[in-house]
Structure 1
Protein backbone atom coordinates (compact mmCIF):
# COMPACT_ATOMS: atom_id res chain seq x y z
CA UNK A 1 0.00 0.00 0.00
CA UNK A 2 1.24 3.48 -0.82
CA UNK A 3 2.73 5.33 2.14
CA UNK A 4 3.56 8.97 2.67
CA UNK A 5 5.72 10.13 5.56
CA UNK A 6 5.58 13.72 6.77
CA UNK A 7 7.52 15.45 9.51
CA UNK A 8 8.16 18.90 10.96
CA UNK A 9 11.14 19.28 8.64
CA UNK A 10 8.74 19.31 5.68
CA UNK A 11 6.90 22.29 7.15
CA UNK A 12 10.20 24.08 7.72
CA UNK A 13 11.28 23.49 4.13
CA UNK A 14 7.97 24.76 2.78
CA UNK A 15 8.18 27.85 4.97
CA UNK A 16 11.78 28.50 3.91
CA UNK A 17 10.76 28.12 0.27
CA UNK A 18 7.90 30.58 0.71
CA UNK A 19 10.14 33.16 2.38
CA UNK A 20 12.69 32.83 -0.42
CA UNK A 21 9.99 33.73 -2.95
CA UNK A 22 9.04 36.96 -1.18
CA UNK A 23 11.03 40.16 -1.26
CA UNK A 24 11.42 41.60 2.22
CA UNK A 25 10.24 38.45 4.01
CA UNK A 26 11.15 38.73 7.70
CA UNK A 27 9.68 35.45 8.90
CA UNK A 28 7.00 32.80 8.50
CA UNK A 29 4.98 31.10 11.22
CA UNK A 30 2.41 28.35 11.63
CA UNK A 31 0.23 28.46 14.73
CA UNK A 32 -2.99 26.97 16.06
CA UNK A 33 -5.75 29.03 17.66
CA UNK A 34 -7.64 28.81 20.06
CA UNK A 35 -5.25 26.14 21.35
CA UNK A 36 -2.55 28.82 21.36
CA UNK A 37 0.27 26.61 20.09
CA UNK A 38 3.14 27.82 17.92
CA UNK A 39 3.86 24.85 15.66
CA UNK A 40 6.74 26.22 13.63
CA UNK A 41 8.28 29.63 13.02
CA UNK A 42 11.24 31.35 11.45
CA UNK A 43 12.67 34.84 11.86
CA UNK A 44 10.35 37.48 13.27
CA UNK A 45 7.46 35.01 13.44
CA UNK A 46 9.06 33.27 16.42
CA UNK A 47 8.36 36.29 18.62
CA UNK A 48 5.43 37.95 16.87
CA UNK A 49 3.25 34.85 16.52
CA UNK A 50 3.75 34.14 20.21
CA UNK A 51 2.84 37.71 21.13
CA UNK A 52 -0.51 37.32 19.36
CA UNK A 53 -1.16 33.88 20.83
CA UNK A 54 -0.47 35.17 24.34
CA UNK A 55 -2.59 38.31 23.98
CA UNK A 56 -5.42 36.75 21.99
CA UNK A 57 -5.29 39.69 19.59
CA UNK A 58 -3.83 40.46 16.18
CA UNK A 59 -4.17 39.33 12.55
CA UNK A 60 -3.35 35.71 13.46
CA UNK A 61 -6.24 35.47 15.93
CA UNK A 62 -8.60 37.45 13.71
CA UNK A 63 -7.88 35.17 10.73
CA UNK A 64 -8.69 32.13 12.86
CA UNK A 65 -11.89 33.49 14.38
CA UNK A 66 -13.31 34.88 11.14
CA UNK A 67 -11.89 32.11 8.91
CA UNK A 68 -10.56 34.51 6.31
CA UNK A 69 -7.26 35.99 5.18
CA UNK A 70 -6.29 39.04 7.24
CA UNK A 71 -3.59 41.62 6.59
CA UNK A 72 -2.33 44.03 9.22
CA UNK A 73 0.68 45.18 11.18
CA UNK A 74 2.36 43.74 14.24
CA UNK A 75 4.85 46.14 15.72
CA UNK A 76 6.78 47.50 12.73
CA UNK A 77 6.10 44.70 10.24
CA UNK A 78 3.28 43.98 7.82
CA UNK A 79 1.73 40.54 8.22
CA UNK A 80 -0.57 38.34 6.16
CA UNK A 81 -2.43 35.66 8.16
CA UNK A 82 -4.17 32.81 6.33
CA UNK A 83 -6.25 30.15 8.12
CA UNK A 84 -5.93 26.65 6.74
CA UNK A 85 -6.91 23.11 7.66
CA UNK A 86 -8.92 22.60 10.86
CA UNK A 87 -7.78 19.97 13.32
CA UNK A 88 -8.65 18.94 16.85
CA UNK A 89 -6.83 21.97 18.25
CA UNK A 90 -8.07 24.61 15.84
CA UNK A 91 -7.18 26.01 12.43
CA UNK A 92 -3.53 26.10 11.42
CA UNK A 93 -2.87 29.76 10.62
CA UNK A 94 0.03 30.62 8.33
CA UNK A 95 1.56 34.03 9.05
CA UNK A 96 4.00 35.83 6.76
CA UNK A 97 5.86 38.92 7.99
CA UNK A 98 7.08 41.46 5.46
CA UNK A 99 9.07 44.68 5.61
CA UNK A 100 6.58 46.26 3.17
CA UNK A 101 2.89 46.12 2.34
CA UNK A 102 2.08 42.85 0.55
CA UNK A 103 1.63 43.13 -3.20
CA UNK A 104 -0.29 40.96 -5.63
CA UNK A 105 2.72 38.72 -6.30
CA UNK A 106 3.28 38.27 -2.56
CA UNK A 107 -0.33 37.24 -1.97
CA UNK A 108 -0.23 34.85 -4.93
CA UNK A 109 2.88 33.11 -3.59
CA UNK A 110 1.30 32.79 -0.13
CA UNK A 111 -1.94 31.39 -1.55
CA UNK A 112 -0.01 28.77 -3.53
CA UNK A 113 2.06 27.45 -0.61
CA UNK A 114 -0.48 27.75 2.24
CA UNK A 115 -2.49 24.60 1.35
CA UNK A 116 0.71 22.54 1.31
CA UNK A 117 1.81 23.84 4.72
CA UNK A 118 -1.65 23.37 6.26
CA UNK A 119 -1.99 19.85 4.86
CA UNK A 120 1.45 18.86 6.14
CA UNK A 121 0.51 20.16 9.60
CA UNK A 122 -2.81 18.31 9.54
CA UNK A 123 -1.14 15.04 8.57
CA UNK A 124 1.45 15.39 11.33
CA UNK A 125 -1.29 16.03 13.90
CA UNK A 126 -3.42 13.13 12.70
CA UNK A 127 -0.78 10.42 12.55
CA UNK A 128 1.48 11.71 15.36
CA UNK A 129 4.65 11.16 13.37
CA UNK A 130 3.78 7.67 12.16
CA UNK A 131 3.75 6.51 8.56
CA UNK A 132 0.43 7.52 7.04
CA UNK A 133 -1.30 4.98 4.82
CA UNK A 134 -3.60 5.98 1.99
CA UNK A 135 -6.70 4.85 3.92
CA UNK A 136 -5.62 6.95 6.91
CA UNK A 137 -5.33 9.99 4.66
CA UNK A 138 -8.91 9.41 3.49
CA UNK A 139 -10.14 9.25 7.08
CA UNK A 140 -8.21 12.40 7.96
CA UNK A 141 -9.94 14.32 5.17
CA UNK A 142 -13.32 12.91 6.17
CA UNK A 143 -12.88 13.89 9.82
CA UNK A 144 -12.06 17.44 8.83
CA UNK A 145 -15.11 17.52 6.61
CA UNK A 146 -17.30 16.57 9.57
CA UNK A 147 -15.69 19.27 11.70
CA UNK A 148 -16.65 21.77 9.00
CA UNK A 149 -20.19 20.37 8.87
CA UNK A 150 -20.49 20.51 12.66
CA UNK A 151 -19.36 24.14 12.60
CA UNK A 152 -22.07 24.84 10.05
CA UNK A 153 -24.70 23.23 12.26
CA UNK A 154 -23.63 25.33 15.23
CA UNK A 155 -23.65 28.51 13.13
CA UNK A 156 -27.11 27.66 11.82
CA UNK A 157 -28.52 27.10 15.29
CA UNK A 158 -26.77 30.04 16.92
CA UNK A 159 -25.62 32.77 14.51
CA UNK A 160 -21.91 33.32 15.09
CA UNK A 161 -18.55 33.48 13.34
CA UNK A 162 -16.83 30.23 12.21
CA UNK A 163 -14.13 30.65 14.84
CA UNK A 164 -16.71 31.08 17.59
CA UNK A 165 -18.53 27.95 16.45
CA UNK A 166 -15.28 26.04 16.51
CA UNK A 167 -14.41 27.30 20.00
CA UNK A 168 -17.80 26.08 21.23
CA UNK A 169 -17.13 22.62 19.80
CA UNK A 170 -13.66 22.60 21.33
CA UNK A 171 -14.98 23.52 24.78
CA UNK A 172 -17.64 20.82 24.59
CA UNK A 173 -15.08 18.17 23.64
CA UNK A 174 -12.52 19.29 26.21
CA UNK A 175 -15.05 19.44 29.06
CA UNK A 176 -16.04 15.84 28.36
CA UNK A 177 -12.51 14.67 27.46
CA UNK A 178 -13.73 13.41 24.09
CA UNK A 179 -11.87 13.95 20.82
CA UNK A 180 -13.16 16.85 18.77
CA UNK A 181 -13.42 14.79 15.60
CA UNK A 182 -15.65 12.29 17.45
CA UNK A 183 -17.90 15.05 18.81
CA UNK A 184 -18.16 16.63 15.35
CA UNK A 185 -19.00 13.31 13.67
CA UNK A 186 -21.54 12.48 16.38
CA UNK A 187 -23.19 15.89 16.00
CA UNK A 188 -23.56 15.35 12.25
CA UNK A 189 -25.17 11.98 12.99
CA UNK A 190 -27.43 13.34 15.74
CA UNK A 191 -28.76 16.10 13.51
CA UNK A 192 -28.65 14.46 10.09
CA UNK A 193 -29.00 10.79 10.95
CA UNK A 194 -26.39 9.57 8.46
CA UNK A 195 -22.94 10.37 7.13
CA UNK A 196 -21.99 10.74 3.49
CA UNK A 197 -21.84 7.72 1.18
CA UNK A 198 -18.02 7.70 1.15
CA UNK A 199 -17.77 7.53 4.95
CA UNK A 200 -17.66 3.73 5.23
CA UNK A 201 -14.11 3.80 6.60
CA UNK A 202 -14.95 6.20 9.45
CA UNK A 203 -15.52 4.39 12.73
CA UNK A 204 -18.68 5.26 14.63
CA UNK A 205 -17.92 7.68 17.48
CA UNK A 206 -18.02 6.34 21.05
CA UNK A 207 -21.19 6.69 23.13
CA UNK A 208 -19.60 9.53 25.10
CA UNK A 209 -19.31 11.59 21.90
CA UNK A 210 -23.01 11.12 21.19
CA UNK A 211 -23.83 12.21 24.74
CA UNK A 212 -21.82 15.41 24.24
CA UNK A 213 -23.36 16.04 20.82
CA UNK A 214 -26.91 15.52 22.08
CA UNK A 215 -26.41 17.87 25.05
CA UNK A 216 -24.80 20.47 22.80
CA UNK A 217 -27.58 20.31 20.22
CA UNK A 218 -30.26 20.59 22.92
CA UNK A 219 -28.49 23.65 24.36
CA UNK A 220 -28.17 25.29 20.95
CA UNK A 221 -31.89 24.96 20.27
CA UNK A 222 -32.99 26.60 23.52
Structure 2
Protein backbone atom coordinates (compact mmCIF):
# COMPACT_ATOMS: atom_id res chain seq x y z
CA UNK A 1 0.00 0.00 0.00
CA UNK A 2 1.07 3.58 -0.60
CA UNK A 3 1.94 5.74 2.38
CA UNK A 4 -1.11 7.24 4.05
CA UNK A 5 -1.72 9.47 7.03
CA UNK A 6 -2.69 7.87 10.32
CA UNK A 7 -6.42 8.20 10.98
CA UNK A 8 -9.57 7.70 8.97
CA UNK A 9 -7.69 7.32 5.70
CA UNK A 10 -5.57 4.53 7.12
CA UNK A 11 -8.63 2.69 8.42
CA UNK A 12 -10.34 2.94 5.03
CA UNK A 13 -7.25 1.73 3.19
CA UNK A 14 -6.85 -1.25 5.52
CA UNK A 15 -10.49 -2.20 5.02
CA UNK A 16 -10.18 -1.85 1.24
CA UNK A 17 -7.06 -4.01 1.35
CA UNK A 18 -8.84 -6.73 3.34
CA UNK A 19 -11.82 -6.71 0.99
CA UNK A 20 -9.56 -7.01 -2.04
CA UNK A 21 -7.48 -9.77 -0.46
CA UNK A 22 -10.43 -12.04 0.39
CA UNK A 23 -11.86 -13.93 -2.56
CA UNK A 24 -15.62 -13.55 -2.62
CA UNK A 25 -15.62 -10.63 -0.18
CA UNK A 26 -18.69 -8.45 -0.64
CA UNK A 27 -18.01 -5.89 2.05
CA UNK A 28 -16.17 -4.89 5.23
CA UNK A 29 -17.57 -2.74 8.02
CA UNK A 30 -16.42 -1.18 11.27
CA UNK A 31 -19.00 -0.29 13.91
CA UNK A 32 -19.26 0.67 17.55
CA UNK A 33 -21.86 -1.07 19.68
CA UNK A 34 -23.91 -0.40 21.81
CA UNK A 35 -23.46 3.22 20.71
CA UNK A 36 -24.90 2.12 17.37
CA UNK A 37 -22.37 4.03 15.29
CA UNK A 38 -21.25 2.88 11.84
CA UNK A 39 -17.67 4.16 11.65
CA UNK A 40 -16.57 2.93 8.20
CA UNK A 41 -17.99 0.60 5.56
CA UNK A 42 -17.02 -0.90 2.21
CA UNK A 43 -19.48 -2.57 -0.18
CA UNK A 44 -22.58 -4.24 1.27
CA UNK A 45 -21.38 -3.57 4.83
CA UNK A 46 -22.76 -0.04 4.66
CA UNK A 47 -26.30 -1.33 4.37
CA UNK A 48 -26.01 -4.59 6.32
CA UNK A 49 -24.08 -3.17 9.29
CA UNK A 50 -26.55 -0.31 9.59
CA UNK A 51 -29.48 -2.74 9.47
CA UNK A 52 -28.01 -4.74 12.37
CA UNK A 53 -27.33 -1.58 14.37
CA UNK A 54 -30.88 -0.32 13.79
CA UNK A 55 -32.48 -3.70 14.47
CA UNK A 56 -30.23 -4.40 17.46
CA UNK A 57 -29.60 -7.98 16.34
CA UNK A 58 -27.30 -9.99 14.10
CA UNK A 59 -23.68 -11.26 14.18
CA UNK A 60 -22.34 -7.73 14.70
CA UNK A 61 -24.45 -7.22 17.84
CA UNK A 62 -23.76 -10.76 19.11
CA UNK A 63 -20.00 -10.28 18.70
CA UNK A 64 -20.12 -7.05 20.67
CA UNK A 65 -22.43 -8.33 23.39
CA UNK A 66 -20.51 -11.59 23.94
CA UNK A 67 -17.10 -10.04 23.18
CA UNK A 68 -16.12 -12.98 21.00
CA UNK A 69 -15.78 -13.69 17.30
CA UNK A 70 -19.10 -14.70 15.75
CA UNK A 71 -19.96 -16.21 12.38
CA UNK A 72 -23.45 -16.17 10.91
CA UNK A 73 -25.63 -15.66 7.85
CA UNK A 74 -27.41 -12.60 6.51
CA UNK A 75 -29.38 -13.54 3.44
CA UNK A 76 -27.07 -15.43 1.10
CA UNK A 77 -23.90 -14.00 2.67
CA UNK A 78 -21.72 -15.44 5.40
CA UNK A 79 -20.59 -12.97 8.06
CA UNK A 80 -17.55 -12.93 10.32
CA UNK A 81 -17.86 -10.37 13.14
CA UNK A 82 -14.77 -9.68 15.26
CA UNK A 83 -14.78 -7.45 18.36
CA UNK A 84 -11.53 -5.56 18.20
CA UNK A 85 -11.13 -3.42 21.31
CA UNK A 86 -12.78 -3.76 24.66
CA UNK A 87 -13.77 -0.55 26.37
CA UNK A 88 -16.42 0.20 28.97
CA UNK A 89 -18.77 1.36 26.22
CA UNK A 90 -18.36 -1.80 24.16
CA UNK A 91 -16.00 -2.99 21.45
CA UNK A 92 -15.28 -1.77 17.96
CA UNK A 93 -16.54 -4.59 15.73
CA UNK A 94 -15.09 -5.51 12.33
CA UNK A 95 -17.55 -7.29 10.02
CA UNK A 96 -16.60 -9.18 6.87
CA UNK A 97 -19.22 -10.36 4.36
CA UNK A 98 -18.35 -13.35 2.15
CA UNK A 99 -20.18 -15.26 -0.57
CA UNK A 100 -19.01 -18.54 1.01
CA UNK A 101 -18.49 -20.00 4.51
CA UNK A 102 -15.25 -18.59 5.98
CA UNK A 103 -12.23 -20.75 5.27
CA UNK A 104 -8.96 -20.99 7.16
CA UNK A 105 -7.24 -18.59 4.79
CA UNK A 106 -10.09 -16.10 5.24
CA UNK A 107 -9.77 -16.17 9.03
CA UNK A 108 -5.99 -15.83 8.73
CA UNK A 109 -6.31 -12.70 6.57
CA UNK A 110 -8.88 -11.21 8.95
CA UNK A 111 -6.63 -12.00 11.92
CA UNK A 112 -3.72 -10.18 10.30
CA UNK A 113 -5.62 -7.01 9.39
CA UNK A 114 -8.17 -6.72 12.21
CA UNK A 115 -5.72 -5.68 14.98
CA UNK A 116 -4.45 -2.84 12.77
CA UNK A 117 -7.96 -1.65 11.97
CA UNK A 118 -9.16 -1.90 15.57
CA UNK A 119 -6.09 -0.21 17.01
CA UNK A 120 -6.23 2.59 14.46
CA UNK A 121 -9.93 3.12 15.18
CA UNK A 122 -9.35 3.05 18.93
CA UNK A 123 -6.56 5.62 18.75
CA UNK A 124 -8.57 7.89 16.45
CA UNK A 125 -11.54 7.80 18.80
CA UNK A 126 -9.28 8.17 21.85
CA UNK A 127 -7.62 11.24 20.38
CA UNK A 128 -11.06 12.67 19.65
CA UNK A 129 -11.90 12.23 23.31
CA UNK A 130 -15.16 10.46 22.51
CA UNK A 131 -14.87 6.78 23.31
CA UNK A 132 -11.80 5.35 24.98
CA UNK A 133 -9.97 6.36 28.10
CA UNK A 134 -6.32 5.62 28.75
CA UNK A 135 -7.05 2.64 31.01
CA UNK A 136 -9.32 1.19 28.34
CA UNK A 137 -6.52 1.44 25.79
CA UNK A 138 -4.23 -0.37 28.21
CA UNK A 139 -6.76 -3.17 28.72
CA UNK A 140 -7.14 -3.55 24.97
CA UNK A 141 -3.39 -4.10 24.61
CA UNK A 142 -3.36 -6.52 27.57
CA UNK A 143 -6.18 -8.61 26.10
CA UNK A 144 -4.42 -8.81 22.76
CA UNK A 145 -1.20 -9.87 24.45
CA UNK A 146 -2.95 -12.81 26.12
CA UNK A 147 -4.46 -13.89 22.81
CA UNK A 148 -1.00 -13.83 21.22
CA UNK A 149 0.47 -15.78 24.16
CA UNK A 150 -2.27 -18.38 23.90
CA UNK A 151 -1.60 -18.75 20.18
CA UNK A 152 2.09 -19.25 20.94
CA UNK A 153 1.30 -21.97 23.48
CA UNK A 154 -0.85 -23.84 20.98
CA UNK A 155 1.79 -23.52 18.27
CA UNK A 156 4.38 -24.96 20.65
CA UNK A 157 2.19 -27.84 21.79
CA UNK A 158 0.83 -28.72 18.37
CA UNK A 159 3.01 -27.46 15.51
CA UNK A 160 0.73 -25.26 13.42
CA UNK A 161 0.56 -21.84 11.83
CA UNK A 162 -0.54 -18.72 13.75
CA UNK A 163 -3.74 -18.74 11.71
CA UNK A 164 -4.51 -22.34 12.66
CA UNK A 165 -3.83 -21.59 16.33
CA UNK A 166 -6.14 -18.58 16.22
CA UNK A 167 -8.85 -20.61 14.47
CA UNK A 168 -8.60 -23.26 17.21
CA UNK A 169 -9.03 -20.60 19.90
CA UNK A 170 -12.02 -19.14 18.06
CA UNK A 171 -13.68 -22.55 17.61
CA UNK A 172 -13.10 -23.39 21.27
CA UNK A 173 -14.59 -20.11 22.48
CA UNK A 174 -17.61 -20.47 20.20
CA UNK A 175 -18.36 -24.06 21.19
CA UNK A 176 -18.08 -23.27 24.91
CA UNK A 177 -19.86 -19.90 24.50
CA UNK A 178 -16.96 -18.21 26.28
CA UNK A 179 -15.27 -14.96 25.32
CA UNK A 180 -12.12 -15.36 23.24
CA UNK A 181 -10.13 -13.15 25.59
CA UNK A 182 -11.22 -15.25 28.62
CA UNK A 183 -10.27 -18.54 26.96
CA UNK A 184 -6.90 -17.06 25.99
CA UNK A 185 -6.20 -15.71 29.47
CA UNK A 186 -7.29 -19.00 31.04
CA UNK A 187 -5.05 -21.00 28.70
CA UNK A 188 -2.04 -18.89 29.69
CA UNK A 189 -2.98 -19.40 33.35
CA UNK A 190 -3.41 -23.17 32.94
CA UNK A 191 -0.15 -23.60 31.02
CA UNK A 192 2.08 -21.25 33.04
CA UNK A 193 0.34 -21.13 36.41
CA UNK A 194 0.20 -17.32 36.47
CA UNK A 195 -0.85 -14.24 34.56
CA UNK A 196 1.20 -11.12 33.94
CA UNK A 197 -0.42 -7.97 35.30
CA UNK A 198 -2.85 -10.18 37.23
CA UNK A 199 -3.47 -7.43 39.76
CA UNK A 200 -4.79 -5.16 37.00
CA UNK A 201 -6.94 -7.78 35.24
CA UNK A 202 -10.19 -9.55 36.03
CA UNK A 203 -9.53 -13.27 36.29
CA UNK A 204 -11.25 -15.41 33.64
CA UNK A 205 -14.45 -17.13 34.87
CA UNK A 206 -14.44 -20.75 35.94
CA UNK A 207 -16.08 -21.92 32.72
CA UNK A 208 -13.21 -20.38 30.74
CA UNK A 209 -10.64 -22.07 32.97
CA UNK A 210 -12.39 -25.44 32.61
CA UNK A 211 -12.53 -24.97 28.83
CA UNK A 212 -8.83 -24.04 28.73
CA UNK A 213 -7.88 -27.11 30.77
CA UNK A 214 -9.71 -29.39 28.33
CA UNK A 215 -8.11 -27.66 25.35
CA UNK A 216 -4.62 -27.81 26.85
CA UNK A 217 -5.02 -31.50 27.72
CA UNK A 218 -6.16 -32.25 24.17
CA UNK A 219 -3.27 -30.48 22.43
CA UNK A 220 -0.66 -31.91 24.81
CA UNK A 221 -1.58 -35.51 23.94
Task: Show the counterpart of 1:116.
Answer: 116
Task: Show the counterpart of 1:53.
Answer: 53
Query: Partners of 1:82 and 1:146 in 2: how far apart?
Result: 17
Task: Show the counterpart of 1:94.
Answer: 94
Q: Secondary structure at the match of 1:102?
A: coil
CA RMSD of aligned residues (A): 2.7
Query: Partners of 1:108 and 1:69 in 2: how far apart?
Result: 13
Equivalent position to 2:136, from 139, 143, 158: 143
Mapped contact 1:86–1:122 kept (Cα < 8 A): no
Q: CA deviation at 1:87?
A: 3.9
Distance 1:15 1:148, change over 3 A: closer
Q: CA deviation at 1:88?
A: 5.7
Mapped contact 2:69–2:82 kept (Cα < 8 A): yes
Query: Partners of 1:14 and 1:144 in 2: how far apart?
Result: 20
Which runs of 5 or more structure 1 residues have no equivalent in the other structure?
Answer: 130-138, 150-160, 163-194, 197-222
Task: Show the counterpart of 1:68.
Answer: 68
Query: Partners of 2:141 and 2:122 in 1: how far apart?
Result: 14
Query: Partners of 2:15 and 2:141 in 1: how far apart?
Result: 26
Task: Show the counterpart of 1:32.
Answer: 32
Instruction: Tell me the TM-score normalised to structure 1 length.
Output: 0.58
Runs of 4+ displaced beyond 6 Å: none
Distance 1:99 1:17, change over 3 A: same
Query: Partners of 2:110 and 2:9 in 1: how far apart?
Result: 19
Mapped contact 1:87–1:122 kept (Cα < 8 A): no
Query: Partners of 1:81 and 1:13 in 2: how far apart?
Result: 19
Query: Partners of 1:99 and 1:38 in 2: how far apart?
Result: 22
Q: Secondary structure at the match of 1:19?
A: helix
Query: Partners of 1:113 and 1:91 in 2: how far apart?
Result: 16
Q: Secondary structure at the match of 1:6?
A: coil
Q: CA deviation at 1:146?
A: 5.6
Q: CA deviation at 1:140?
A: 5.8
Which runs of 5 or more structure 2 residues have no equivalent in the other structure?
Answer: 143-177, 180-198, 201-221
Instruction: Tell me the TM-score normalised to structure 2 length.
Output: 0.58
Query: Partners of 1:146 and 1:117 in 2: how far apart?
Result: 17
Structure whose alpha-carbon radius of gyration is higher: 1
Mapped contact 2:69–2:80 kept (Cα < 8 A): yes
Mapped contact 2:85–2:140 kept (Cα < 8 A): no
* Count of residue pairs the alignment pairs up: 141
What do the CA deviations read for 1:143-196 (whole angstroms, capped 9, x no partner)? 3346899xxxxxxxxxxx87xxxxxxxxxxxxxxxxxxxxxxxxxxxxxxxx86
